[in-house]
Structure 1
């Protein structure tokens, strides 16, 4: 049985690894090897693979073809994002594409530049904008508003020297090619088309709908403002109302993953459909439609798209009578996401998502079998601990490298935030359904606010405990790789010892 699993596991893993190597090579050699050379090489390799019938040589040539494909796609992606910006002040028309958030005397938001210096541009320029507010008139901007502005468009650059987090690279990965500072006297309302094509217009309307829904359901200026801001972040991805203290408390306690829309949230939504319709092919199909509809409503952020792809693949595998996710499925999901955007390979969210799932696949079962309690409550508690530990062991090197922080009570935090997050998302669905029924809607609203309030109080309590986190413990890239080699070597050694015994 073990041998069969190995035979099934290795082909897609080999392809995924070769594809990733090709992407890295395409990035490093962008100025030296053109997309045409990569593409030609790939064609030659695949032709040779078809002509040469020796199995081992064919395997090598297929891997080389996959590598060349990675280089081709990476070269193409870099060419698309390598936009030359004017060095002088530019006049442009743009759309506000994210909820503007107040930071002292400025507003921060995303903009999509549709025309530059009086000329329409073929591909919109995505930029991060910092807008100096006019405190006398209190200018208000919303998602979907058009503006005419004048400012200097700069290439993204790093803003902190105290971490390994590469902000400029993060901007590039997420499609931003510029950043700019706009004084309030250089910005005016304007009528701007919602997009160049039907898909762009539909995406913009979805973001506007999300913001309006957030304001309708979760806008509150009273004592429950903090709870509403967390609910809005968890269910619609709108973090504009979250204050700095709340974000910091979630980060210190190890609960930040519930604030960022990710696999946890889509997994809960996915489970709602399975709960309602069972595990049939129809239920799986409805689940796929449901998670992609949710992804569209929240604006298709990369973390949600990544999770939606993984869950869709899981659902399709289930439909064709495969019982569970495997490394094969995980490798296929990685390839699909990297084909869509090769730059995702450097996205911290992408790395942590796949390492967390890989950790669960590798360590969960051996850990669980150490105790394997038969009591249902103890089984759930021990299973939750094993899931948290498995994911944490495979992700903490990345966290240390990028953020220099380790949350010491992450297991305790997950015992609180995961059930609360599940209840909040279930109640959010009920909140939308019961909008026409005022009395029932008020009851659901009360429950969801209480759940969010309990979670917030618990998070602040854990964050305030002595030794709640280890701070400023950054490790280098080399140390990160050595740490992963150490982890994998120990796992391999333990498995060898188990087989011998």
Structure 2
């Protein structure tokens, strides 16, 4: 049977809509050009008018030679719409001008507050700005970190907060290849962030109302039911995430265990959960099919239940995808129309992107759609590799085939973002997927019988031990030898090549064209060339990087594959933050091993104590003076004492760290320097004083906390 590509595309019309729309969004997000909204709106209306005129002339529309013009203008319309949607959402982010007032701000809490170690994190929607004797209505989201106390712990979704604006701009660290928090906030329509002390805010008696608040109140009732019937600790945090998407109480150890074993998807409400809700309510509403217009009424109720559950779980991208896709399927079934699964998938994506174009940047959205498409296409092919007669072994093989299929398309993007691969993902999914399904059903039954204490107590015990078994299983798999392959780096170009190879090799088996096979070999060659090119550049690199991490000294010398970091890491409470900040950059530069030197071990009159582990012939260190190739450097830490010489010493860079009370005037007397680097371990008062003195003595100065990480190719 020959594969008809044109006929397949005809059955997936939404695919032809979503591709130019996404391209328009991506072009706007990456090129950052500006087109006035009026001009852009006029262009869209012009394309729309051309399409209407084109459609009015049947001869022109049906003529094969001119029909391509309709397709071109239609794609341009969608492409322009993508750009327009991004501009509209950017305007929402920049709408709040709260830095321009000294008055109070009135805002409401729009997401469940998250309890941190030293603060309470909450997202607020600004309602009005107090200016003199009047309130000016406005809108926009801000991220607030409240000082942790009894008052801030009582903040809940829907509360209205009055606070004094002390909004800081989104902090740009400038650290190479670090997670871009500024973009993250923008893509979540958040314009500003700040920290509020207990005296800077108060909660007023008014409270927001609406469907979302009602859904969150129901979610809190469900969570309280879990607590009432003896579920606590890690069992409670995992169950809350598994059933209603409440992840605030998951600790880092649990998250790491699930990630290393390949079960992270269990901790987020996804298609599995929405599917179970659909199955349960579809069964409960079967009786409606016997009455007049029953199928239509049933479809309406099913869609309402699905979207209320999506609202209940916080509207995560995977839930949105599942709810939107199932909604299209339900509508198709109620109208007795056969639906193409790929068209339902792309239709759901199209609707979600129209509502929020920034959703395409969400990793959950990307993984959700890629994994689903991969499962739908590849799972039947993999399943047919073997025929298994035994019923239970066949079910296990189904799980294995689904797991393999999901990994085919989701692995490249996972490696790109997370740089690791769970080696026992098959073992994990064979155990975890059935067990998590049982847990979801048990949770639903417990919620249904929560008014009957006698039954609910036993259900609570069963549920608690089921979740405990799940956690212990995950922990055991994580503890197996070589459970995870770490420090895997692929570039964006290499990820593109892998996906291109998957598409080409799949096309070869569908179309049986040798040209596809040849193209796949070319793709492999390009991939190998890119690896060779990256390794070649790694061997030639010679860099000096001073990272911008609050309260931390992090001076990085990179010489080919040799990676030396001088830091206050060993005694600094931000050590995990330091490794998190530097790791992605090291992987991109081809560095898998680091040599860390404690800045306080740079003793006078000797090489630093661990010089044997930091053996590099091009980096010489003695008495806080460093020689790196032809460059001379001086690190001034807290114990440094200035020694005057008969003539000025020449140095390229002087690093001021750890709030040493040294004066710039004294440095100017003793050293002939090109630049002073003030790192982020210093206080704001010292930084301000040093900056002023540098200007006074006409010395080039770089403040890392203000300008971002200092990077020098030597």
Using structure 1 for the length normalisation, give the TM-score: 0.88
Contact 2:229 2:457 in 1 (8 A): no
Q: Aligned equivalents of 2:301 and 2:277: distance in 1?
A: 11
Partner of 1:48: 50
Structure 1 stretch 319-328 or stretch 249-258: which is displaced more?
319-328
Q: Whose radius of gyration is greater, 1 or 2?
A: 2
Partner of 1:187: 201
RMSD (Å) for aligned C-alpha atoms: 3.0
- The 1:370/1:176 distance shift into structure 2, 3 A limit, reads same
**SS of the residue 1:191 aligns to:** strand
Q: CA deviation at 1:251?
A: 1.4
Contact 1:253 1:469 in 2 (8 A): yes
Determine which of 301, 313, 319 is the counterpart of 1:298. 313
Tell me whether 1:315 sits opposite 2:330 in the alignment. Answer: yes
- The 1:133/1:283 distance shift into structure 2, 3 A limit, reads same
Unaligned stretches of 5+ residues in structure 2: 55-59, 61-65, 290-294, 517-714
Tell me whether 1:377 sits opposite 2:392 in the alignment. Answer: yes
Determine which of 70, 81, 95 is the counterpart of 2:82. 70
Contact 1:113 1:126 in 2 (8 A): yes
- More helix by proportion, 1 or 2? 1
| Larger RCO: 1 or 2 (CA < 8 Å, sep 6+) | 1
Unaligned stretches of 5+ residues in structure 1: 196-200
Determine which of 91, 111, 122 is the counterpart of 1:79. 91
Partner of 2:662: none
Q: CA deviation at 1:126?
A: 2.1
Contact 2:310 2:320 in 1 (8 A): yes
Q: CA deviation at 1:326?
A: 2.3
Partner of 2:414: 399
Q: Aligned equivalents of 1:456 and 1:11: distance in 2?
A: 43
Residues 169-188 of structure 1 mapped to structure 2, 5 A cutoff: 169-188=183-202
Q: Aligned equivalents of 1:194 and 1:122: distance in 2?
A: 16
Using structure 2 for the length normalisation, give the TM-score: 0.63
**SS of the residue 2:392 aligns to:** helix
Q: Aligned equivalents of 1:221 and 1:448: distance in 2?
A: 10
Partner of 1:273: 281
Determine which of 105, 109, 123 is the counterpart of 2:118. 105
Tell me whether 1:33 sits opposite 2:35 in the alignment. Answer: yes
Q: CA deviation at 1:322?
A: 4.7
**SS of the residue 2:95 aligns to:** coil
Q: CA deviation at 1:28?
A: 4.5
Contact 1:96 1:145 in 2 (8 A): yes
- The 1:328/1:143 distance shift into structure 2, 3 A limit, reads closer
Partner of 1:435: 450
Contact 2:324 2:348 in 1 (8 A): yes
**SS of the residue 2:115 aligns to:** strand
How many residues were matched structurally? 493
- The 1:288/1:86 distance shift into structure 2, 3 A limit, reads closer
Partner of 1:473: 488
Q: Aligned equivalents of 1:303 and 1:159: distance in 2?
A: 30
Partner of 1:342: 357
Contact 1:258 1:421 in 2 (8 A): yes
Give CA-to-partner distance per residue, 1:276-329, whole Å, 9 cap, x none.
445963554432221112123334344433321122112223334455652222
Partner of 1:92: 105
Give CA-to-partner distance per residue, 1:33-78, whole Å, 9 cap, x none.
2333333223322332343423222222222222222222222222
Q: Aligned equivalents of 1:138 and 1:194: distance in 2?
A: 18
- The 1:258/1:194 distance shift into structure 2, 3 A limit, reads same
Contact 2:129 2:137 in 1 (8 A): no
Q: Aligned equivalents of 1:393 and 1:115: distance in 2?
A: 49
Give CA-to-partner distance per residue, 1:230-279, whole Å, 9 cap, x none.
11121122222222211111111111112112222111211212344459
Q: Aligned equivalents of 1:325 and 1:380: distance in 2?
A: 26
Q: Following superposition, which runs of at least 4 residues in structure 1 exceed 6 angstroms of deviation?
A: 220-223
Structure 1 stretch 223-232 or stretch 452-461: which is displaced more?
223-232
**SS of the residue 1:358 aligns to:** helix
